[in-house]
Structure 1
Amino acid sequence: MKLNELTSYLESLAPLAYQEDYDNAGLIVGRPEMEVHRALVSLDCTEAVVNEAIATNCQVIVSHHPIVFRGLKKFNGKTYVERVVEKAIRNNIAIYAIHTNLDNMIAGVNAKICETLGLKNCRILSPKHNLLKKLVTYAPQSHADTVRNALFAAGAGNIGNYSETSFNAEGTGTFKGNDQTNPYVGEPGKRHLENEVRIETVYPAILESKILMALVLNHPYEEVAYDLYSLTNQNQQVGSGMIGELDNALAEEAFLHHVKEKMHCHVIRHTEYTGKSVKRVAVCGGAGGFLLKQAIAAGADVFITGDYKYHEFFDADGKVLIADVGHFESEQFTQQLLYEIITKKFTNFAVRLTEVNTNPVKYFI
């Protein structure tokens, strides 16, 4: 299939618009129209992973972390980044990264951590704001269902676990067209009164052009009246970290043993025990120290993440147990998540998990 069939599907699940400002997710090497028959999934795209792709005849590498974060000015092989990009180009291998946009999805990286740890009743720890908008439009009663259905099909009306949500109120609309119009109802030059339905619905801002196109194409009027409102509401489907609960509370040491086993950790760096049992757990794959305040505010007994610095451990202040499992360890299951996503959608497309351990951190035990 064409590479853009794969990338478009991945971006429908984790839109590039939801990546953080510093990130570089998306197609890094390759042409969207190139043919691909086999994909290699990895956490990182290293030179060893590219070599594996060559050896296994994979035309595309789908990695979590982008190999390129900042612009490259020279390609002379002096850095591992340059060597990876050069080798991929020479061997016609595409590189695609799905990073913080996947981190920020409710069914993304952190959901996989929660699943691994057996957490229930999970929700996003720090939902993002200003991602939603509201559309208000007016349709004649005879076409209200048609307009609503078109908006829903285009992606409007989804709130959490509910779909096709809208508010509707009947009223009377007035309009008078000039002699250049050909109104659906009424006559040019005469004021017309029409029984109409006011339709209100919310939608992700990134779908605005698609939503408006559906509105215009399915509305009978020559000039479609509508209002757009920006919303500051939280989007409960998009944001950083997650928080969930254990079926049964555990003592802190017992819980850390559970984490070490389930997440295959060589070591866990943690703060002093608080003396409380563990029931509510906050997680953030990668470097999640910025979410500590949110974890405490949400009542987490433990906050699991990676890349904690020495002085940041003091910030727990006895209010929560911080458990630093390591960056790679916290995100290693992302490979399996991507494998499941791709194979479920493209049943005839060959996908393999990398056999390369890309963790740059080694442990002397």
Structure 2
Amino acid sequence: MTKIKDLVSYLASIAPPSYQESYDNSGLITGDANAEVKGVLVSLDCIESIVDEAIEKDCNVIVAHHPIVFKGLKSFTGKDYVERTVIKAIKNDIAIYAIHTNLDNVLHGVNAKIGEKIGISNPKILAPKKQLLSKLVAFIPQENKEAVLDAIYKAGAGEIGNYSNCSFTTTGKGTFKPNESADPHIGKQGEAEEVTEDRIEVMMPSHLENRVIGTLKKAHPYEEVAYYITQLQNENQEVGSGMYGDLDQPMEPFEFLNYLKDRMALNCIRHTAPSNKKIKRVAWCGGAGSFLLKKAISQQADVFITGDFKYHEFFDAEDKIMIADIGHYESEVFTKELLYEILTKKFTTFATNLSEIVTNPISYL
């Protein structure tokens, strides 16, 4: 039996809630975390028609990219679509889970799916985030170092990009004097002790601090573990906004735009005037990504693909890059496929369904 809290925990391991933007509201919005998952409906948005679809398909969980609630609700009278959606979900015991900018910001998230669609392998994060990494320093008796390191590696420490089990070790002398209440692993109560110890240093995602420290204390032979944590200013190359990468073969601008329409199933593209330069390096961001234009230019991208560009923002291209606005919904609709793949690979005790409803509020004539 899979409970909603098991589903939530797994999705949080894929896209940690701490990676969401400050304005966001990812997480469990409605529902009893201890209830059993009977079926899941995956959608881009969660609106009334999606709740109706969940009821029809006997799904008691909706996993949506966009949160239905962004701001605090002060009443539940059904005066707008947000309140009506939440009321209907609660009345029908349907849990709503949103996995929004935290899924945007992880390496294998929304933007990786877009890169897959447009045929770019090994893309990189366009705007990596800072202050998401910590350094752990701990002091361990030499004979116990490997066992302790192995334990904290398994807890998520020591990973840097494509490398795992990363650490640095120096050797020195540790001194201590156990008091009468101590139960020392080495030495005796009331006697000063000097021990050859290894000082180990490892990096870890800050959101894993509690897990790694808990593992360190469990694996360490000492009654009292000497350690400290420092938050780092380093960019986390695996977390951030947007992506960029190179096409296998350069394309003429209009050739690329038609290619993009085909690969992303688009009706139209709003774009700036193309230059005579071929398209080789591509930058993109699912949803509203105009804030990344300067980053795309700094990475020498030939085109920047996103949605929701405003009229005056198109001028900011200044003939340095071609902007291709494909629409907010259109840039993120394949997130449903991504979530479906994530859930079906992990869970087999319930059915996961792709929503068949087009929730795009914009129509084109």
TM range, smaller chain: over 0.9
State the secondary structure of the residue aligned to 1:274. Answer: coil
Please list the CA deviations of residues 331-350 of structure 1 after superposition, one character each: whole Å capped at 9, or x if unmatched. 01000000000000012320
Task: Map 1:271-350; keep pairs closer than 5 Å.
Answer: 271-350=272-351
Please list the CA deviations of residues 237-288 of structure 1 after superposition, one character each: whole Å capped at 9, or x if unmatched. 1100000110000011000001111111111000111221011100100000
Provide the C-alpha distance between the structure 2 equivalents of 1:177 and 1:25, rounded to a whole number of angstroms: 47
The structural deviation recorded for 1:216 is 1.1
Query: Residue 111 of structure 2 corresponds to which residue in structure 1?
Result: 110
Query: Residue 228 of structure 1 corresponds to which residue in structure 2?
Result: 229
State the secondary structure of the residue aligned to 2:123. Answer: strand
Verify the 8 A CA contact 1:343 1:349 in the aligned structure 2: no
Task: Map 1:66-215; keep pairs closer than 5 Å.
Answer: 66-215=67-216
Moved more, 167-176 or 205-214: 167-176
Counterpart of 1:190 in structure 2: which amino acid? Answer: E
Provide the C-alpha distance between the structure 2 equivalents of 1:338 and 1:187, rounded to a whole number of angstroms: 56
The structural deviation recorded for 1:83 is 0.9
Please list the CA deviations of residues 189-226 of structure 1 after superposition, one character each: whole Å capped at 9, or x if unmatched. 32222121111101111111111111111111122111
The structural deviation recorded for 1:178 is 2.6
Verify the 8 A CA contact 1:41 1:351 in the aligned structure 2: yes
Query: Residue 42 of structure 2 corresponds to which residue in structure 1?
Result: 41
Please list the CA deviations of residues 112-162 of structure 1 after superposition, one character each: whole Å capped at 9, or x if unmatched. 000000012311000000100101111111111121111111111011111
State the secondary structure of the residue aligned to 1:330. Answer: helix
* Runs of 4+ off more than 3 Å: none
Counterpart of 1:49 in structure 2: which amino acid? Answer: I
State the secondary structure of the residue aligned to 1:121. Answer: coil
- Percent of aligned pairs with the same amino acid: 57
Provide the C-alpha distance between the structure 1 equivalents of 2:364 and 2:309, rounded to a whole number of angstroms: 17
Counterpart of 1:60 in structure 2: which amino acid? Answer: V
Provide the C-alpha distance between the structure 2 equivalents of 1:270 and 1:233, rounded to a whole number of angstroms: 35
Provide the C-alpha distance between the structure 2 equivalents of 1:182 and 1:303, rounded to a whole number of angstroms: 62
Length-normalised TM-score, structure 1? 0.98
Provide the C-alpha distance between the structure 2 equivalents of 1:14 and 1:299, rounded to a whole number of angstroms: 29
Counterpart of 1:236 in structure 2: which amino acid? Answer: Q
The structural deviation recorded for 1:188 is 2.5
State the secondary structure of the residue aligned to 2:236. Answer: strand
Provide the C-alpha distance between the structure 2 equivalents of 1:142 and 1:53, rounded to a whole number of angstroms: 56
Counterpart of 1:231 in structure 2: which amino acid? Answer: L
Provide the C-alpha distance between the structure 2 equivalents of 1:189 and 1:119, rounded to a whole number of angstroms: 65
Please list the CA deviations of residues 296-319 of structure 1 after superposition, one character each: whole Å capped at 9, or x if unmatched. 001111000000000000000000
Provide the C-alpha distance between the structure 1 equivalents of 2:135 and 2:234, rounded to a whole number of angstroms: 11
The structural deviation recorded for 1:229 is 1.3
Length-normalised TM-score, structure 2? 0.98
State the secondary structure of the residue aligned to 1:285. Answer: strand
Provide the C-alpha distance between the structure 2 equivalents of 1:98 and 1:227, rounded to a whole number of angstroms: 32
State the secondary structure of the residue aligned to 2:90. Answer: helix
**Which runs of 5 or more structure 2 residues have no equivalent in the other structure?**
none
Query: Residue 5 of structure 1 corresponds to which residue in structure 2?
Result: 6
The structural deviation recorded for 1:46 is 1.3
Report the RMSD for the aligned CA atoms in angstroms: 1.0
